[in-house]
Amino acid sequence: MSSRRPKPEHKESLREEILDAARELFVAEGYESVSMRKIAERIGYSPTTIYLYFKDKSELLRQICESTFERLADEIVESQSKATGPLDKLRRGLLTYINFGLKNPHHYDVVFVSPKVRFMGPTEYSFDGSMGQRAFELLGSSVAECMAAGVLRKGDVALTAQTFWAGIHGVTSLVNTHDGFPFVESERLATSIVDTMIAGLEP
Amino acid sequence: MSSRRPKPEHKESLREEILDAARELFVAEGYESVSMRKIAERIGYSPTTIYLYFKDKSELLRQICESTFERLADEIVESQSKATGPLDKLRRGLLTYINFGLKNPHHYDVVFVSPKVRFMGPTEYSFDGSMGQRAFELLGSSVAECMAAGVLRKGDVALTAQTFWAGIHGVTSLVNTHDGFPFVESERLATSIVDTMIAGLEP
DNA sequence: TTGACAAACTTAACAGCGTTAAGTATTTTT
DNA sequence: AAAAATACTTAACGCTGTTAAGTTTGTCAA
């Protein structure tokens, strides 16, 4: 008895409701600690209902990360808009990336730190064609600009971009992951690695 | 009927047998994909037997990583012994770290990439006082030496060491984690980040 | 020789997990 | 009013880490 619920706008809204509940839980407790049953309970539906809207748990996660990383790309673009030159633009982009990762540890973790663990199985994950890729491309073109302007040593753009990426990913993941470790203040560490790398790659 | 087994040296040897089986499986398939039942099956005992020798699954992992990271520290020390000077010594140490991580992706993952996920619960993990810490200390003293010798800009040793660590951890974890991504050849990327950082931190 | 006791290991079970197949209401269409 | 489509649920499968209780064996004393 009583199946149809007095939900505001049915149909498409339940999909959003699931997504919202899952996002909140993932961000608060981490992907592994959140079960489908928990998500279902929170929105007052049976666990299997989720499977009517999403293929499996990892697809839920993927959708959430997709939108989260639009935000990352947007934040990078926005921070770069205030730049005074190509090098400052690059620097701002790098720092924004790090800050984003530090402010959204669970999202960052899911997409950049352990995608293997999370996105295995049926729907295999590829970095290519989505998510973090756009953010990385922004970095690549920023590097190219700097080289063209002669403020960064000319060379393999891909190699240089990946070198930067390694650096900023390193700080972010390290600080997020090793709670107990006595890191120096994270903003100091962030600027240290960014400025060190820029200095090391100047002409 | 027939419980006592014709095992070579009982008692302490079964502990080693479990450890060996677990190590092989973890390295081959990754921590999450290996169940206690799988480990037990491989050595021909019931799953619960493992709990007579280890508190839980994460302790098994911890023991394995402990010995693995003795090896890392040893390899770093050994590679540094051939160095021609303080800066070369630092450089060798950094590259050895990266190579170790690339050759032992699962071990590296467990200790440096996602310790939070693996070491939660009953026995809480701390980086402090074990494992990776000794490797990090080697790096720190190498940095201090370089500063003293005047081949690295003088400044906060901790900050500089952590900056290096972020860099080498970045390459290692990135390459290990993002299978699909078109990275440049990993040795090239490794030397790129190491040399970039050293260049950026010279006097 | 017998009985007690400890050591080493196993069986059965619990509560949880992601996921699927089948079933039940309710609404819409014909 | 009958049929079909929609939206959801119940029950179950096979898996997980882990615990409690039971069973077999070896040791040692009386």
The arithmetic mean of pLDDT across residues B91-102, rounded, is 97
How much is the pLDDT for B162?
97
C-alpha distances (whole Å) from B31 to each of B20, B34, B186 are 14, 6, 24
Find which nucleotide's C1' atom is closest to B15's CA: C8
pLDDT band at B142 (very low <50, low <70, confident <90, very high): very high
> Looking at the complex, does the CB of residue A52 fall below 8 Å from at least one CB of chain B?
no
* Alpha carbons B93 and B137: distance in angstroms, whole number: 11
Separation CA A29–CA A20 (nearest Å): 14
Ranges A15-19, B39-43, B67-71: which has the least confidence:
B67-71
Cα dihedral across residues B112, A182, B190, A109: positive or negative: positive
Q: Answer whether A124 touches B (CB < 8 Å).
A: no
pLDDT higher than 60, residue B82: yes
Condensed to tens digits (0 to 9), the pLDDT of residues B109-122 reads 877 886 655 554 43
Residue A118 confidence (pLDDT) above 70: no
Q: What is the distance in angstroms between the Cα of B140 and the nearest Cα belonging to chain A?
A: 13
Q: Give the model's confidence band at A130: pLDDT under 50 very low, under 70 low, under 90 confident, else very high.
A: low
Considering CB atoms only, which of A162, A171, A199 is closest to B189? A162
Beta carbons of A184 and B112 less than 8 Å apart: no
More confident residue, A25 or B8: A25
pLDDT tops 50 at residue B2 = no
CA–CA dist B144, B157 (Å, integer): 6
Q: How far is the CA of A20 from the C1' of C28 (A)?
A: 30
| Mean pLDDT of all residues in B68-95 | 95
Phi first, then psi, for residue B179 (nearest 5°) are -55, -45
Å between A201 CA and nearest CA of chain B: 6
Contact flag, residue B47 CB and nucleic strand D, below 7 A: yes
Does residue B128 sit at the A interface (CB-CB below 8 Å)? yes
pLDDT in tens, A1-12: 333 444 444 556
Whether B48 CB is under 7 Å from strand D: yes
What's the pLDDT band for B12 if we cut at 50, 70, 90? low
From the CB of residue A89, how many other CB atoms can be counted at a distance below 10 Å?
Answer: 22
SS3 readout for B44-98: CCCHHHHHHCCCCHHHHHHHHHHHHHHHHHHHHHHHHHCCCCHHHHHHHHHHHHH
Q: Which residue in B173, B194, B198 has the most chain A C-beta atoms within 10 A of its own C-beta, making it the best mutation to test that interface?
A: B173
B100 touches chain A (CB under 8 A): no
| A123 interface with B at CB cutoff 8 Å | no
For residues A196 and A136, what is the distance between their CA atoms, to the nearest angstrom? 20
pTM attached to this predicted model: 0.86
Q: What is the pLDDT of residues A11-67, one digit of tens each?
A: 568 999 999 999 999 988 888 899 999 999 999 999 999 999 999 999 998 899 888
pLDDT at A2: 33
In this complex, the residue with its CA at the shortest distance from the C1' of nucleotide D11 is A48
- B126 to chain A: closest CA residue: A180
Q: Which residues of A touch B183 (CB under 8 A)?
A: 162
CA B162 to C1' C3, in angstroms, rounded, equals: 66
What residues contact residue A169 under an 8 Å CB cut-off, 6+ apart? Answer: A101, A112, B170, B173, B174
- Record: contact B113-A156, CB cut-off 8 A: no
Q: What is the token pair recorded at A50?
A: 């989720």
Please say if the pLDDT value at position B181 is more than 90: no
Query: Would you place residue B8 in the very low, low, confident or very high pLDDT band (cuts 50, 70, 90)?
Result: very low
Give yes or no for CB of B38 within 7 Å of strand D: yes
Residues 68-97 of B with CB under 8 A from A: none
Q: Which nucleotide is nearest to B45 (CA to C1')?
A: C9
Reply yes or no on whether the pLDDT at B13 is more than 50. yes
Q: Is the CB of B2 under 7 A from strand D?
A: yes
- On whether any CB of chain B is under 8 Å from the CB of A44, the answer is no
Nearest to A143 by CA among A133, A135, A152: A152
Q: Do B180 and A32 touch (CB under 8 A)?
A: no
Alpha-carbon span B93 to B97, nearest angstrom? 6
Tell me the pLDDT of chain A averaged across its residues: 87
Q: Which of residues 41-60 of A touch strand D (CB under 7 A)?
A: 45-49, 52
Q: Using one digit for the tens of pLDDT, what is the confidence trace for B16-33?
A: 999 999 999 998 888 889
By mean pLDDT, which of A135-139, A189-193, B165-169 is the weakest? Answer: A135-139
Percentage of chain A exceeding pLDDT 90: 66
- Bases of chain D below 7 A from a protein C-beta are 7-11, 15-21, 23-26
pLDDT value, residue A102 = 95
Q: Of B99, B136, B89, B194, which Cα lies nearest the Cα of A166? A: B194
